[in-house]
Amino acid sequence: MGEKILMKGNEAVAEAAIRAGCRHYFAYPITPQNELVEYMAKRMPKVNGTFLQAESELAAINMVLGAAACGVRAMTSSSSPGISLKQEGISYIAACRLPAVIVNVTRGGPGLGNIAPMMCDYFQATRGGGHGDYYTPVLCPSTVQEFADHAPLAFEIAERYLTPVLILADGLLGQMMEPVEFPEKTPVPKDQSDWCVGPWEGKRTSHHVINSLFIVPEDLEEKTRILFEVYEEIKKNEIRYETYNMESNPSLVVAAAGTAARVTKSAIDELKAEGIEVGLVRPITLWPFPSEAVAKAASGAKKMLVIELNMGQMVEDIRLAVSGACPVEFAGKAGGVVFTPEDIAALIKEKM
Amino acid sequence: MAEMTVNELYCKGCGLCVDACPKHIIAFAGHLNSQGYYPAVCTDQSACTACTLCYVTCPDGAITITK
Amino acid sequence: MKVVAKRPEALTDVRLTYCPGCLHGVAHRIIAESVDELGIKERTIGIAPVGCAVFAYRFFACDMVQVPHGRAPAVATGMRRARPGAIVFTYQGDGDLAAIGTAETVHSANRNENISVFFINNAVYGMTGGQMAPTTLPGMRATTSPYGRDVSDTGFPMRVCEMLATLEMPNYIERVSLLSPKEIVKAKKAVKKALKYTMEGRGFSFVEMISTCPTNWGLDPVSSREWARENMLPVFPPGLFKDRSAGAKPGAEKE
């Protein structure tokens, strides 16, 4: 591993993407991820990559569609409202089976909300925010190091399954600085010439078509069947989660992701010092959701407490996974207000 | 001797070639093609000068001209 | 016997799905002829819009991509940056380019993006059944301007060439007509020139083609052309609006 560098989350994920071979980045300014855009603007020309500021987030995702259709590693990033504008494009990219990476550094919502680190885009991210039957793998980091590690991972998953992949971090993680190490080697971009478009003299005998229109229902049905076979593969191989202090087989287990999970860990450490054992299960892939791991964590517990920086979104997936094995309670903060470790410690004591 | 042929698979009987031909030797055939259109047909190949105006105006790439 | 004229190689052998007499087919043919003559079929990527020409991905024999409504110029931008060696053209109708896709059109032009944009203007939304388009004429009926377009309410028909010509950078902007064989021959020259400029890296090429929509205008193909000549050409006068690299040495790459 390389040496440690102190970096903002926004810049760490950008640097990691470049080191992962991403050479085409299209985006639009929006707080709290402007540093990601600015970093790409500085770095891409130095690695003779493409940085282009588009006229809108909507245009940017379509530029990503075009670059991905040509078989190159392409990426965009934005924050909540901007990601809403990209949804139609993401639906097309999923339908056309194109690999691409989209980073959402979330902010307070709905509407213009604010620039505080709310994580209220869980539903949009995990239920396929655009139209039609599709999902996108969603990676949810909780440290700057993990945020950086998710860039090469996202490209690898995108290319392995020919799908767009979303990295869902919040404004706090984007703005926070932590030491980061970048891996020596990262996955080499896959050769996509068996399906991509672009100059093909002497390389192939016929033209390629990339399209998501299937007027005959049976054709679209078949395309969807294939897509969902891929989703089953992703569910089998790509689920990631972390557990914390579960070896103490606690009676109360917290389920939380991203920043909420990070704050919970501090609370768990504080309570442990007071002799109170609390466990944590932290989904890292929000889709495919680690249902089995959550069910397992709940099986030994008397109660599960879901903590989110929103009014309750992941709690629904948790309830589905636990399916009654133990009561599941929820505590959330809206508006971009963030729990302190003390808040969570008090909450846990109250719920014990 | 020029020859103008119409591919009945493509012709939709739109009549633009009929209008375009300076020699007025294109008309609608008496039968329907598989799509239910009366396809265009050259009525006097000997008068055809291969000027290609019918080809140029045809929206369906249905016309081939040889000389 | 030598073949003087036949269906171009760059068109597939699929029957076109356009209505009888619709001039989309003519636009397809002169683009395909130009691709053949310039020998670039294996380097060209065509982008199909949403609208009557959505099925263009079946009709052209070069690489084709079908994209969201109005977003073709943005997709083309991504492609061009990813594969500079590719010749990218977009094929768009008036709803796609001048309504929902206005921002993408204006900004790709403003960046002088090295792509060819072929804009088919038939003053109506064809595929969806004849609604009013940004180019629908004053007083012209459409299914969403059933009493005739009221310009005080919905604005005057949008002259895209003139609008884009006010931008500094776009390299080549021309409006042509497909309303007669003579005009089609002239339109073909413009299309071939646009693609040649793209090959030479000269930046943004834009060719607007005045076309017809017999079905939604409720006219037969021949009288549709006459109606368009009398009513559309005065509002959308064909002409050359910008040709910055005219006379420039061939092969001068876009700086």
Q: Do chains A and B touch (3 or more CB pairs under 8 A)?
A: no
Q: Are residues A232 and A251 in the same domain?
A: no
- Residue where one domain finishes, among candidates A186, A208, A237: A237
Work out the minimum CA distance from C164 to partner chain B, whole angstroms: 28
The subunits that touch chain B, with at least 3 C-beta pairs less than 8 Å apart, are C
Residue A122's CATH number: 3.40.50.970
Domain co-membership, A215 together with A294: no
Nearest to B56 among C24, C185, C221 (CB): C185
Instruction: Give the separation between CA C12 and CA C138, rounded to whole angstroms.
Output: 38
Whether residue B39 has a cis bond before it, omega within 30° of 0: no
* Token pair in block for residue B53: 């105006």
Nearest Cβ partner for A211 among C57, C77, C85:
C57
Cα separation, A119 vs A115, whole angstroms: 11
| Domain C-terminal end among A209, A237, A265 | A237
**Which spans in chain A are helix H?**
9-19, 34-43, 57-69, 81-85, 87-95, 122-126, 144-161, 171-175, 217-237, 258-273, 291-299, 314-322, 341-351
> Which residues in chain C are contacts of A211 at CB distance < 8 A?
48, 57, 64-66
Report the residue of chain C nearest A90, measured CA to CA: C68
Among candidate residues A159, A154, A182, the one with its CA nearest the CA of residue A286? A154
> Among C8, C19, C181, whose Cβ lies nearest the Cβ of B53?
C181
Taking the C-alpha atoms of residue B49 and residue A60, their distance in angstroms, rounded to an integer, is: 53
Residues A154 and A261 in one domain: no
Whether residue A33 is found in the same domain as residue A153: yes
Domain shared by A33 and A151, yes or no = yes
* Angstrom distance (rounded) from CA C51 to CA C98: 13
Q: What are the Cα distances from residue C9, in Å, to A38, B52, B64, C28?
A: 46, 18, 13, 12
- What pLDDT is attached to residue C50? 98
Q: Which chains form contacts with chain A, at 3 or more CB pairs under 8 Å?
A: C
Q: Is the pLDDT of residue A2 over 90?
A: no
- The reply to whether residue B59 touches residue C3, judged by beta carbons under 8 angstroms, is no
User: Mean pLDDT throughout C62-82?
Assistant: 98
Taking residues C96-117, report their average pLDDT.
98
In a shared domain, residues A62 and A174: yes
pLDDT number for residue A185: 84
What is the reported pLDDT for A352? Answer: 86
On whether any CB of chain B is under 8 Å from the CB of C18, the answer is: yes
Instruction: Check residue A108 and report its DSSP letter.
Output: B
What one-letter code names the amino acid at C91? Answer: Y
Biggest alpha carbon distance in chain B? 31
With 90 as the cut, is the pLDDT of residue C41 above it? yes
Shortest CB distance from B64 goes to which of C6, C23, C181? C6
**Are C214 and C125 a contacting pair, CB within 8 Å?**
no
Shared domain for A232 and A336, answered yes or no, is no
pLDDT digits (tens, 9 = 90+) for A27-76: 999 999 999 999 999 999 999 999 999 999 999 999 999 999 999 999 99
Average pLDDT, chain C: 96
- CATH class, range C24-254: alpha beta
Reported ipTM: 0.96
Q: Say yes or no for a CB contact (<8 Å) between B10 and C21.
A: no
Instruction: Note the pLDDT of residue A196.
Output: 97
Contact A148, A180 (CB under 8 A): yes
On the 0-12 / 13-18 / 19+ scale of CB atoms within 10 A, B4 is buried
pLDDT of A217 strictly over 60: yes
CB-side exposure of C252: number of CA atoms within 13 Å?
A: 11
DSSP per-residue letters across chain C: --EEE---TTB-SSPP-SPTT-THHHHHHHHHHHHHHHT-GGGEEEEE-SSGGGGHHHHBSSEEEE--TT-HHHHHHHHHHH-TTSEEEEEEEHHIIIIITHHHHHHHHHTT-S-EEEEEE-SEETTTTSEE-TTPPTT--BTTBTT---HHHH-PPP-HHHHHHTSSS--EEEEEE-SSHHHHHHHHHHHHHHHHHHHTT---EEEEEE---HHHHT--HHHHHHHHHHHHHHHS--EEEEETTTTSPTT----
Q: Is the pLDDT of residue B1 over 90?
A: no
- Look at A283-287, B1-5, C76-80, C212-216 and tell me which has the smallest mean pLDDT: B1-5
CB contact under 8 A, C1 and B3: yes
Average pLDDT in the C45-64 region? Answer: 98
Average of pLDDT values for C23-32?
A: 98
Q: What's the total number of domains in chain A?
A: 2
pLDDT at A202: 87
Question: Which residues are paired to C64 by β-bridges?
Answer: A209, C46
Q: Convert the pLDDT of each residue in A298-315 to its tens digit.
A: 999 999 999 999 999 999
Average pLDDT for residues A196-221, to the nearest whole number? 96
Query: Which chain B residue has its CA at the smallest distance from C12's CA?
Result: B61
Give pLDDT, residue C218.
97
User: pLDDT value at position A128?
Assistant: 79
- Confidence at C219, pLDDT banded by 50, 70, 90: very high
Same domain, A228 and A317: no
Domain spans, chain C: 24-254
Closest CA to A242 of A141, A105, A147: A141
Q: What gap in Å lies between CA A298 and CA A301, rounded to an integer?
A: 5
Lowest-pLDDT range of A178-187, B26-35, C197-206: A178-187
Domain containing B45: what range?
3-66
Residue C11, pLDDT > 80, answer: yes
Please give the pLDDT value at position C248: 66
Chain C residues touching A63 at Cβ < 8 A:
74-75, 77-78, 81
Q: Which residues pair with A304 in a beta bridge?
A: A253, A328
Q: Which residues of C lie closer than 8 Å to A, measured between beta carbons?
A: 41-43, 45, 48, 54-55, 57-58, 60-68, 71, 74-83, 85-86, 103-104, 106-107
Which of C11, C13, C45, C100 to mutate against chain A (most A CBs within 10 Å)?
Answer: C45
Q: With bands split at pLDDT 50, 70 and 90, how would you rate the model's confidence at C255?
A: very low
pLDDT of A258-300, one tens digit each?
999 999 999 999 999 999 999 999 999 999 999 999 999 999 9
The C-alpha atoms of residue C212 and residue C227 are separated, in whole angstroms, by 9
Residues A226, A250 share a domain = no
Looking at A202, A237, A272, the residue that finishes a domain is A237
The model's pTM is 0.96
**B59, C25: Cβ pair inside 8 Å?**
yes
Question: Which residues of A sit within 8 Å Cβ distance of C?
Answer: 24, 26, 50, 52, 54-56, 58-60, 62-72, 74, 88-89, 92, 96, 197-201, 207-213
Predicted confidence (pLDDT) at residue C252 exceeds the cutoff of 50: no
Task: Answer whether residue A168 shows pLDDT above 70.
Answer: yes
Task: Count structural domains, chain B.
Answer: 1
Provide the residue range defining the domain that includes A62: 5-237
Residue C251 pLDDT > 60: no
Read off the CATH number of the domain in which B38 is found: 3.30.70.20
Count of CB atoms within 10 A of residue A196's CB?
20
| C residues 173..192 contacting B (CB < 8 A) | 180-181, 184-185
Closest listed residue to residue B26, CA positions, set B34, B38, B9, B36: B38
Residue range C223-239: mean pLDDT, rounded? 98
Do residues A202 and A274 both lie within one domain? no
Per-residue pLDDT averaged across C131-137, rounded? Answer: 98
